[in-house]
Amino acid sequence: MFFLICLTFLSVYIEVRNIRDVKRFHVRLGRKDCVRERCEMDFSAGAAWMDGEVMPVSEAKISVFDWGLTRSDITYDVVHVWEGAFFRLDDYLERFEISMEKLRLEVGMEKSAIRSALIELVATSGLQSAYVSMVASRGTPIIPGTRDPRACSNHFYAWAVPFIWVIPEEIAKRGAHISIAQDVRRISSNSVDPKVKNYHWGDMTAALFQALDDGYDTTVLLDHNGLVTEGPGFNIFAVIDGSVVTPRSGMLEGISRKTVLEICEELGIPCAVNDISKDEFMDAQEVFTTTTAGGLVPVTRVNGHIFSNDVIGLTTAKILLTYWDWHKREDLVLKVKYIDI
């Protein structure tokens, strides 16, 4: 009987009970073969959570009229799962909640509900190491053609894919070669708040084209005062006169950045959040980036200038090892109870 129902309807729901924690969840059954009262779904490329359903990421969709798409009226955040555990999930959720408040996005879900959705998403996907994005979009206007953002139905969705390295792993191992963008400046904080994670990447994309065309791996941008800010998807650090320094303005206050500052404090390494001029940056002893998608990545060349003899610096190496060691700290991780479906 159930087999016939699966063939008749495009999507139904099944309830699967995890014996260990008696957690209930729902899996969307698409046009897949049903075998013995269940459908095997392929989550190898990733999974999405939309409207309370978990589905293969290839089946996720939003309206072409969604202002998140047409106007970049959207915020998001990204947390990673490493070897079966979320790292600093609650820190990412707190930042995401602040971003939604600043943009006046109301998705009808409390932080605890979003947390549960992300856990369900990863537990269902089976991904042991993943890049997990939570998104709040302005949505589609109820009144066609309106310019009133209050007339939109805000909504939340999330997706998870196998772990992503913003700077490819093979490049990270030898040290990234980056440029300082020459003609492009970071979007002014007066126009777009960099502390709210966003898709306003016009400056980043233009700078990336320049860097890649010139043979670099990636780039970092200056602000209109000539101060170092950040790169596409990462924060930047420099070791200057023995102190680990990171910019204080014009960039996202990254969770990986926060982790490095805490590591420095624990290891007794001098650190500071301060303005960094281009000249100070180029005179640094070591440079590295931090990102959720890849952690800490050494930089060995900037604009062709070689740092620390073209190998990972001693301070960078010490922080890098500690960063991954912290992924075993029980106070910072949340182990995923994966669901066998």
23 and 135 belong to one structural domain: no
Q: Within this chain, do residues 117 and 94 fall inside the same structural domain, yes or no?
A: yes
Q: Are residues 69 and 148 in the same domain?
A: yes
Instruction: Give the max Cα distance, the chain.
Output: 73
Residues 226 and 92 in one domain: no
Q: Are strands 271-273 and 305-306 parallel, antiparallel or unpaired?
A: unpaired
Count the domains in the chain: 3
Amino acid at 201: W
Cβ(327)–Cβ(83) under 8 Å?
A: yes
Q: Are residues 147 and 229 in the same domain?
A: no
Same domain, 187 and 157: no
CB 180, CB 302: distance < 8 Å: yes
* 233 in Cβ contact with 291 (< 8 Å): yes
> For residue 292, which of 243, 248, 327, 330 has the smallest C-alpha distance?
327
Q: Is residue 332 part of a domain?
A: no
Q: Which of 114, 134, 162 is the last residue of a domain?
A: 162
Residues 309 and 178 in one domain: yes
Amino acid at position 53, single letter: E
Q: Which residue range forms the structural domain that includes residue 17?
A: 1-40
Same-domain status, 191 and 217: yes
Looking at the fold, whether 183 and 276 belong to one and the same domain comes out as: yes
Q: Is 188 helix (H, G, I), strand (E, B) or coil?
A: coil
The H or E element that residue 113 is part of is helix 111-125
Q: What is the CA radius of gyration of the chain?
A: 22
**Tens-level pLDDT at each residue, the chain (341 residues):** 433 333 333 333 333 333 233 333 344 434 333 332 335 689 999 999 999 999 999 999 999 999 999 999 999 999 999 999 999 999 999 999 999 999 999 999 999 999 999 999 999 999 999 999 999 999 999 998 999 999 999 999 999 999 999 999 999 999 999 999 999 999 999 999 999 999 999 999 999 999 999 999 999 999 999 999 999 999 999 999 999 999 999 999 999 999 999 999 999 999 999 999 999 999 999 999 999 999 999 999 999 999 999 999 999 999 999 999 999 999 999 999 998 76
Q: Provide the token pair at 35.
A: 């075998």
Task: Please check whether residues 180 and 157 belong to one and the same domain.
Answer: no
d(CA 161, CA 127): 8
209 shares its domain with 285: yes
Q: How far apart are CA 312 and CA 325, in angstroms?
A: 18
135, 162, 189: which is the final residue of a domain? 162
Return the structure tokens found at 173.
Answer: 């191992």
Q: What pTM, to 2 d.p., does this model score?
A: 0.87
Classify residue 339: in a domain, yes or no.
no
Tell me: do 216 and 134 sit in the same domain. no
Is 158:53 a contact under the CB 8 Å cutoff? no
CB 25 within 8 Å of CB 124? yes
Contacts for 183-189: CB closer than 8 Å, 24+ residues apart: 183/210, 184/210, 184/221, 185/221, 185/222, 185/223, 185/224, 186/221, 186/222, 186/223, 186/224, 186/229, 186/230, 186/250, 186/251, 188/223, 188/224, 189/223, 189/249, 189/250
Residue identified by tokens 């182990």 is: 335
The angle formed by the CA atoms of residues 334, 93 and 101, to the nearest 5 degrees, is 170
* Owner of token pair 């791996």: 217
Residue where a domain terminates, one of 162, 177, 206: 162
Tokens 């099944």, located at residue: 14
As a whole number of angstroms, the distance between CA 64 and CA 69 comes to 7
